[in-house]
Chains A and B, each alone.
Chain A
Amino acid sequence: MANLEKYIRPTSLEEAWQALREAGASARPIGGGVDLALFVPREVTTLVDVSALSSECSVRTDGGLDIGAGVTLTELAEYDGAANYLGGILVEVLRKVASPLLRNLATVGGTLASAHPWSDVIPMFIALGAEIELYEGETCATALEDLVADRAAAAGALISRVRLPAPAGRAGAAFEKFIRTGFDVGMLNCACYVAFEDGRCSTVRVALGGTPDMAKRVGDVEALLDGQPLDERTINEAAKRASETVPARDDQRASGEYRRILAAAGVRRCLTRIAAENGGGA
């Protein structure tokens, strides 16, 4: 049973952060509130609603995207700048997340703060090289992959913004998700970003999520692709390496063995699509 006593709606990040700091473990920030509506830990008596504090998207002059933490998944999917970013990868992924009713409520910041291991948004953002702007009295930034790997390090900080870098001149991204039923969370998901230079992979980020642990990059696969042309042979090797190195294990959705097969399929499909859409990078 929840013991909520206060629901406050501060008007600035500073005010929100102070309120959270003063209340300590008894307070939680809330975005859309999808997770907190289902479960509020016993010790939490105060919710600090931050959803209205940074609720805008913008395209930076360098072509990168700034996404406020309070932006809902629907707002991001409907944002023109998202449609124009790397062939609309954000729009494609977001349409596969939960249902419209939930996407209208859930915020980008809340999604990152909840940090579910099966999240589709997190591996996508990791593959795109997202940097997270945090507020803890002052603004600081960290790579999303570091934030989700060690959430304790950012305890007490508020997520204020997601910063996506400007894509390279020649680059592509793709996402694959394996689900049992339309409304379930994934058994595994895979997001890839490849930038090309002189027909070869120059920057590669491959993230696997729902393994069933938290999404992370698979460095062995990235290293294998680095400097190579994105042809069928390389893609097959990358897929094989993904299945060998993915930290997969069993849970109620799928066995570790099956997840290793999915990791290979995900990497193969994503890379094949990126190659096809970029003429093999050549």
Chain B
Amino acid sequence: MRIHVTINRERKAFDVDPGDKLLDVLRREGYMGVKKGCGTGDCGACAVLFNGRAMNSCLIFAAKADGAEIVTVEGLANGERLHPVQEAFLRSGAVQCGYCTPGMVISTVDLLSRNPDPTEDEIREGLSGNLCRCTGYVKQLDAVKAAARLMKGGDADV
């Protein structure tokens, strides 16, 4: 079956099988920023914005995406200019191996779009679907706070 989607503001059409998951289709089509971690909705490495909300693409049937608007981590930057959340993760050193980072960034974009000034508890809750096996989550917390400041036109330094 054929699905039509908008990915990172580009209209695309893909042939998919009814059982295909969005994650596998995205990676097959070259969106390698979407990571396959657990494949069971536990780790969040495969998070994408699906009609504006962050979701585990490993649990979304590709057929469900017909007509949907999808943003992967590749679609966040504006040309050479990083998205403020990416900028904040970079400056905060919130990356070790980096495998969880695209999912963390996507969850943060969703969180800050609904709640521009989250408390620390709200940040922890907002990122609770994204597992990181390298860090102790401290730098990611810093990064989200920095991103919130940056998006309000403030200073991202930590």
Residues of A within 8 A of B (CB): 2, 4-7, 9, 30, 32-34, 36-38, 40, 47, 49, 51, 72, 74, 78, 95, 98-102, 104-105, 182-183
Contacts and interface: CB of A to CB of B under 8 A. Distances in A.
A37 B107 contact: no
A99 B128 contact: yes
Residue from B44, B47, B128 whose CB has the most chain A CB atoms within 10 Å: B128
Interface of B: 1, 17-19, 21, 40-42, 44, 47, 50, 53-56, 58-61, 63-64, 66, 107, 110-111, 114, 125-126, 128-130
Given A32-B59, A104-B50, 17 more contacts: A2-B19, A7-B1, A7-B18, A34-B41, A37-B59, A37-B60, A72-B53, A99-B129, A100-B128, A101-B41, A101-B47, A101-B54, A101-B55, A101-B107, A105-B55, A182-B128, A183-B42
Given A37-B59, A37-B61, A102 B41 contact: yes
Classify the interface of chain B: helix, strand, loop or mixed.
mixed
A38 B61 CA distance: 10
Given A4-B17, A5-B18, A74-B53, A100 B126 contact: yes
A105 B59 contact: yes
Contacts of A36: 61
Contacts of B21: 37
Contacts of A49: 63-64
